């Protein structure tokens, strides 16, 4: 089976600061991979590169066999057109730490926007799909509420529905519970777990170690822009091989 | 104050005053609409333009905002005719007020766009929207809500500034009133009256603005 996501020798710098120093990673359909590591290790940047929210200087990312963001003409590397990149971005779904719902639209209109504008769906078709996903994340009764009328956990669930309604090949979760009050974390994690159980391919950055352990097929520990250690969750959490990972886990809540 | 005499003269002058009022409204509406249209592009250029564009537009804004509207009106009327652009007093006045309005609108559009969190653009991108779609469906609707109160304020400023066009001979409401005064000598009565009319105009604009604001406010 060919991989859904192939990252090869990915390098990314912000000015003089190199944040990703050569990342290699592959994901198969249905894989759930958690990126863990201390802040500044590059895990969020890696996720944002896959969604093309960041450009990168070297290496390549292939999504379902298609190189994203850049094309090569001989030895020259060119950024794809804005329109092409927009289309490729829609192949991945992203949930953000700060939800980023559109405050001037109701929950269901938030979910419908990408369907009607990017996928050019008719309104009623988009409405039906949006309803289906809001139902799935338990937000169907609040479909006509504005983001400002919802709790953080509810907003995040709508944001996840908005991303996943686009039918992405892979879902990216960027610390989706970090901005939530502790009592709201559970409802969001339940939604993510539900999607994982359903066979959704997911790449997530998380600080919830217990959750990463339960839900992941693979855990990747990043340190200083490199993959420091990776493996199945039992191995990463049960028998970490490097001192650095042991140190990191000792400082994390389990 | 001779009230019945004033009423008689007011009635006699009604067509001239109404014509003046019509011009005032026309000047204000034209300047605000054109100025807003231009101002949105000024704001866009300030926000998304490259360095030379931003520098040029910044110069335009600062120059217009640092110059009295009065000077601007005189400049448009007298200087442009010297360089061969023959505008009527009405056109020159509208041009000056349009530029004045565009610099204000440009500044508030820039501020409003800047105040929208970067996450909004990122979320729009992540569902595959192009820049144009992001602007039209995500950024502009939020910016407009934020702009509205300041924009209404700018509109009332333009109505007030339109009186300055009387200097270059545009018979708008103020000059029409002054012409009536020079015939009737009822200066106190007519100045009070015209002041009240301006107040009503701006009061209506502000009420309309508030009504719209209530309608489009986000819960």
Q: Are B168 and B74 in contact (CB under 8 A)?
A: yes
Q: Measured between alpha carbons, how far apart are the two ends of chain A, in Å? A: 35
> Which residues, numbered 93 to 122 in chain A, qualify as contacts with chain B under a Cβ-Cβ cut-off of 8 Å?
93-94, 96, 98, 100-104, 113-114, 117-119
How far does Cα B163 stand from its chain's mean position?
12
Residue B123 to residue A146, Cβ atoms within 8 A = no
Give the residue ranges of DSSP H helices in A55-106: 82-89
Mutate to test the interface with B, among A52, A68, A89, A126 (most CBs of B within 10 A): A89
Domain B1-215 sits in CATH at 1.10.3720.10
Using CB atoms within 10 A of its CB, is residue B10 exposed (0-12), middle (13-18) or buried (19+)? middle
Instruction: Please give, rounded to a whole number of angstroms, the shortest distance from the CA of B152 to a CA of chain A.
Output: 21
Residue B127 to residue A146, Cβ atoms within 8 A = no
Residue A102 to residue B131, Cβ atoms within 8 A = no
What residue has token string 């605000």? Answer: B32
What's the rounded Cα separation, in Å, for the pair B96 and B100? 6
pTM of the model: 0.85
What residue has token string 């120093």? Answer: A21
The candidate with the shortest Cα–Cα distance to B16, out of B168, B176, B186, B196, is B176
**Interacting residues of A168 by C-beta distance below 8 A, sequence separation 6+:** A90, A91, A92, A93
pLDDT tens sequence across B49-104: 999 999 999 999 999 999 999 999 999 999 888 888 888 999 999 999 999 999 99
Please give the structure tokens belonging to residue A250.
Answer: 């000792």
Mutate to test the interface with B, among A68, A83, A100 (most CBs of B within 10 A): A100
Please give the structure tokens belonging to residue B17.
Answer: 């005053």
- Angstrom distances, CA of residue B68 to CA of B62, B166, B200: 12, 16, 25
The candidate with the shortest Cα–Cα distance to A116, out of A129, A101, A99, is A129
User: What residues does A13 pair with on adjacent strands?
Assistant: A18
Residue among B133, B141, B218 minimizing CB distance to A148:
B218
Number of alpha carbons in the 13 Å side-chain half-sphere of residue A42:
25
CA dihedral sign of residues A86, A89, A95, A97: negative
pLDDT tens sequence across B4-55: 899 999 999 999 999 999 999 999 999 999 999 999 999 999 999 999 999 9
What's the rounded Cα separation, in Å, for the pair A175 and A207? 7
- The CA-CA-CA angle for residues B96, B99, B103, to 5°, reads 140
Q: Which residues of B touch A103 (CB under 8 A)?
A: 142, 218
What residue has token string 């519970």? Answer: A177
**Interacting residues of A131 by C-beta distance below 8 A, sequence separation 6+:** A108, A140, A143
Residue A53 to residue B126, Cβ atoms within 8 A = yes
Residue B127 to residue A118, Cβ atoms within 8 A = yes
Q: pLDDT band at residue A254, thresholds of 50, 70 and 90?
A: low
Q: pLDDT band at residue A74, thresholds of 50, 70 and 90?
A: confident
CA dihedral sign of residues A29, A34, A39, A40: negative
Residue A53 to residue B127, Cβ atoms within 8 A = no
**B145 at interface of A, judged by CB pairs closer than 8 A:** yes
The candidate with the shortest Cα–Cα distance to B60, out of B79, B41, B77, B74, is B41
Integer-rounded Cα radius of gyration of chain B: 21
Look at residue A107 and tell me whether its pLDDT is greater than 70. yes
pLDDT tens sequence across A161-176: 999 999 999 999 999 9
Q: Measured between alpha carbons, how far apart are the two ends of chain B, in Å? A: 52
Instruction: Please give, rounded to a whole number of angstroms, the shortest distance from the CA of B170 to a CA of chain A.
Output: 43
Q: In what order do the strands lie in the sheet with A170-174?
A: A92-95, A170-174, A202-205, A32-36, A218-223, A226-231
pLDDT tens sequence across B185-217: 999 999 999 999 999 999 999 999 999 999 988
What's the rounded Cα separation, in Å, for the pair B213 and A146? 17
pLDDT in the model for residue A165: 96
The domain ranges of chain B are 1-215
């Amino acid at each position: 089976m060919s991989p859904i996501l192939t990252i090869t020798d990915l390098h990314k710098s912000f000015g003089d600061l190199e944040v990703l120093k050569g990342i290699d990673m592959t994901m198969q359909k249905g894989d759930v991979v958690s990126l863990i590591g201390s802040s500044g290790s590059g895990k969020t940047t890696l996720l944002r590169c896959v969604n093309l929210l960041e450009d990168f200087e070297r290496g390549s990312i292939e999504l379902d066999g298609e190189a994203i963001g850049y094309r090569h003409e001989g030895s020259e590397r060119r950024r794809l057109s804005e329109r092409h990149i927009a289309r490729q971005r829609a192949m991945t779904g992203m949930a953000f730490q700060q939800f980023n719902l559109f405050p001037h639209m109701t929950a269901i209109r938030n979910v419908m926007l990408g369907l009607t504008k990017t996928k050019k769906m008719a309104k009623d078709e988009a409405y039906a799909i949006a309803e289906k996903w809001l139902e799935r994340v338990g937000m169907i009764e609040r479909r006509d509420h504005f983001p400002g009328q919802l709790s953080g956990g509810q907003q995040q669930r709508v944001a996840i529905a908005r991303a996943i309604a686009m039918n992405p090949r892979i879902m990216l979760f960027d610390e989706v519970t970090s901005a939530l009050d502790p009592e709201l974390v559970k409802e969001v994690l339940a939604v993510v777990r539900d999607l994982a159980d359903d066979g959704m391919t997911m790449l997530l950055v998380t600080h919830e170690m217990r959750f990463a352990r339960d839900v992941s097929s693979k855990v990747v520990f990043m340190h200083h822009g490199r993959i420091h250690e990776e493996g199945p969750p039992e191995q990463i959490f049960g028998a970490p091989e490097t001192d650095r990972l042991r140190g990191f886990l000792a400082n994390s809540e389990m | 104050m001779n009230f019945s005499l004033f009423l008689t003269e007011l009635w006699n002058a009604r067509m001239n005053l109404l014509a003046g009022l019509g011009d005032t409204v026309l000047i204000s509406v034209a300047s605000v609409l054109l100025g807003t249209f231009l101002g949105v592009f000024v704001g866009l250029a300030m926000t998304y333009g490259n360095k030379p564009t931003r520098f040029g537009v910044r110069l335009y804004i600062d120059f217009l905002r640092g110059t009295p509207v009065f000077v601007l009106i005189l400049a448009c009327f007298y200087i442009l005719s010297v360089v061969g652009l023959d505008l009527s007093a009405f056109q020159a006045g509208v041009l000056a007020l349009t530029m004045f309005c565009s610099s204000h609108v440009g500044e508030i559009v820039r501020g409003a766009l800047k105040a929208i969190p970067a996450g909004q653009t990122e979320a729009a991108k992540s569902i595959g929207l192009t820049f144009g779609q992001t602007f039209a469906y995500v950024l502009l609707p939020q910016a407009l809500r934020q702009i509205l109160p300041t924009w209404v304020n700018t509109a009332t400023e333009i109505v007030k500034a339109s009186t300055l066009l009387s200097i270059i001979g545009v018979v708008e409401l103020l000059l029409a009133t002054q012409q009536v005064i020079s015939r009737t000598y009822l200066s106190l009565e007519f100045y009070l009256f015209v002041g009240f009319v301006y107040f009503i105009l701006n009061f209506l604009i502000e009420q309309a603005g508030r009504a719209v604001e209530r309608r489009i406010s986000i819960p």
